[in-house]
Amino acid sequence: MAKIVVEQIPVLADNYVTLVHEPNSGATAAVDPGVSEPVLERLAAKGWQLTHILNTHHHGDHTGGNLDLIRRTGCVVVGAAKDSERIPGLSIEVAEGDTFLLGGAAAMVLEVPGHTSGHIAFWFPDSHVLFAGDCLFSLGCGRLFEGSAEDMWASLKKLRELPADTQVYCAHEYTAGNGRFARLVERDNQALLTRLEQVEKLRARGLPTIPTTIADERAANPFLRADTKSVAKAVGMEPGADPALVFAELRRRKDVF
Ligand code: ZN
Ligand code: FE
């Protein structure tokens, strides 16, 4: 199966739109285009034709460019069937376990509710690339707008099980802020301290901290570690506490951090 090439475009205050290009067929997708102009500019610079939009969820900072991109490129929009009323221009409705082709590259749909009820992630198994939208961030996770802590914990566990070397593209550059909270939770976690040093260096040079990897997030992201003794202890719970409850308390504390 064909491998993909990825281009990350910083837009708005802290969003990333990512272009996914399959070179054999020329198929090209924009993941979560919150705006259209910077996407069209990058497409022109690369000489790529937009064929698809992939939306992880309906929020405006992820879908705001849909209609203009459809009008100007004729691309199709792939998104959750559950959000057919909320994603502008949605034409290919997908659900858990569905696989579709971006040219010769297979993409699998994972339902990851919690941030919104219809949130999905896109997993490219032949390239080990994940588009996590606003579910999983580096050193953090999305806010619970339409789901319970249990939903989000289950969604994060699903993503955590992907191969360790998976490159994770999140939709926001929130890593430094997330890191300040994570450090309060696990101040002795060496993987976290290493990641924080790396993040500081990257941001000082104005560079993205994304993509991250599943391995790094398993080791350093407190929200993926709600079933560890150290994170349970950090939120004042017993070592054997229900991880969903630990996760809920962690998310509550981050909300007011
Ligand atoms: Zn969102
Ligand atoms: Fe967002």
**How many Å lie between the centroid of ligand 1 and the Cα of residue 240?**
32
**How many Å lie between the centroid of ligand 2 and the Cα of residue 195?**
23
Beta bridge partners of 213: 167
Angle at 14 between CA 96 and CA 196, to 5 degrees: 90
The CA–CA distances, whole Å, from 30 to 65, 116, 173, 244 equal 10, 20, 17, 33
Look up residue 23 and give its two tokens: 């070179």
State the CB neighbour count (10 A cutoff) for residue 239: 9
Q: Which of 21, 32, 52, 57 is catalytic?
A: 57
**How many Å lie between the centroid of ligand 2 and the Cα of residue 242?**
29
Q: What is the pLDDT of residues 196-210, one digit of tens each?
A: 999 999 999 999 999
Amino acid (one-letter) located at 89: G
Q: Is 119 among the catalytic positions?
A: no
Q: Which of 61, 83, 151, 216 is catalytic?
A: 61
Look up residue 82 and give its two tokens: 């559950």
Collapsing DSSP to helix, strand or coil, 5 comes out as strand
Rounded mean pLDDT, 153-181: 98
Q: Is 134 among the catalytic positions?
A: yes
**How many Å lie between the centroid of ligand 1 and the Cα of residue 115?**
7
Q: What is the pLDDT of residues 66-83, one digit of tens each?
A: 999 999 999 999 999 999
